[in-house]
Amino acid sequence: MRRILSRKLALKLPAGRSAFLWGPRKTGKTYWLQHAFPGNPRIDLLQTDVFAEYAARPSLLRERFGTNKELIVIDEIQMVPDLLNEVHWLIENRSMAFLMTGSSARKLRRQHANMLGGRARRFTMHPLVYQETEGFDIERVMVSGLLPPHFLSEDPVADLRAYVADYLKEEIAAEARVQNIPAFAEFLRVAALTAGELLNYTNVAREAGVSAKVVRSYFQILEDTLLGFRLAPWGKSRRRRLIETEKFCLFDVGVANYLARRTPRVGTPEFGKSFEQYLLLEMKAYQAYANPELDLHYWRTSTGREVDFILGDMEVAVEVKAGRVHEGDLAGMKALLAEYRLKRAVIVSMESQRRTIQDRIEVWPWKEYLAELWSGGLGV
């Protein structure tokens, strides 16, 4: 497999510049590093002997690499936060460059680690996107998700079970100092079930059996560890009262469906919801890799008219339908078009051919939409 980020990062990281590369476990950071920087010095802090050395004496970084001229890779930097002081010194005094990876900056911030004060750029690695894969079966992907080992696995459910048990329920909970592990596990299930819906802390708290305050902290944990993100509503309208509540989405559709105990099949409501979340994740990855300044929102009126996604400054509107598009599916898009002049109004669907409805609304097969998105053909 190739990683789109291998091209994008090379373009955005000039020689002599340092960067952080964040991403949840199993997104493929280590695999990418091995192929993008095969000959560069690399410090892998997941190796117990390497970790022990640098945890005991962070100054070893300066002593061993103080005259190095190549980019130095430090894998899982959050495991030894004190190394960042040495990195800072070497950047300032020796003009050295580092690429530092990790699964989250939460632990570093909690320990008041040196985040280098703008001396390192920030990148995020997401699960695979459609253009990075071969043999893409949309129904299977709803179960496996797009973390590379799970996508390639012959038994993705078993791998997801281990990932959830070992990483989400134990490592993330431990890093965040969660005391009530069963409550956190139940929260993960409820968060997966309600992903893509209006965020209601009180309802989630009731289902998870904890307070709304605790639920807020749990959602913040997921954001800080890059396991989820908020989708903000579009809030600018002169004519309509708009919903101001955020939505929340988990970072991988396979993880979300495993937590929610769903096995979506084409034609079911569960598949429709998962299909919408999957396309959001593609757009989120595009934003991270190709256009970090791109705004991404949803639009919903107080009367319930809704369009799934707004890209840019009300430039492209996207509605997702996991079946054939009918006249009754256009209400939200028509309401939006009555108020705004868009570059494009697109309904992404499972239909096989592109067509236009009422001159201004286009229906696209989902694969064509993704091809246009990643090629820059949408104009955002």
Which tens digits make up the pLDDT trace of 128-184?
999 999 889 999 999 999 999 999 999 999 999 999 998 887 777 776 677 788 888
pLDDT tens-place string over residues 315-371: 999 999 998 999 889 999 999 999 999 999 999 999 999 999 877 899 999 999 999
Taking a C-beta distance cutoff of 8 angstroms, is the pair 282, 350 a contact? no
Is 90 exceeded by the pLDDT of residue 112?
A: no
Phi-psi domain of 112 (left: phi exceeds 0; alpha: psi -120 through 50; beta: other): left
Which residue is associated with the tokens 């004190």? 82
pLDDT tens-place string over residues 202-246: 999 999 999 999 999 999 989 988 999 999 999 876 666 777 899
pLDDT tens-place string over residues 1-38: 556 666 566 657 777 889 999 999 999 998 888 888 89
**Coil, helix or strand at residue 338:** coil
Which residue is associated with the tokens 């894998």? 75
Instruction: Give the start-to-end residue ranges of the domains of the chain.
Output: 5-124, 130-375
Average pLDDT over residues 114-118: 78
pLDDT given for residue 250 in this prediction: 97
Average pLDDT over residues 178-194: 89
CATH of domain 5-124: 3.40.50.300
pLDDT given for residue 6 in this prediction: 61
> If you count them, how many residues does the chain have?
380
Cα 278 → chain centroid: 11
d(C-alpha 36, C-alpha 184), whole Å = 37
**Coil, helix or strand at residue 104:** coil
Going by C-alpha positions, the residue among 251, 275, 289, 260 that lies closest to residue 367 is 275
Task: Give 223's contacts (C-beta < 8 A, 6+ positions apart).
Answer: 229, 230
Tokens of 123: 């990148």
pLDDT given for residue 11 in this prediction: 55
Amino acid letter, residue 150: H
pLDDT given for residue 242 in this prediction: 75
pLDDT given for residue 236 in this prediction: 75
Cα→Cα distances 86→83, 206, 292, 348, Å: 5, 46, 29, 49
Q: Which has more pLDDT, 13 or 125?
A: 125
d(C-alpha 246, C-alpha 265), whole Å = 28
Beta bridge partners of 62: none
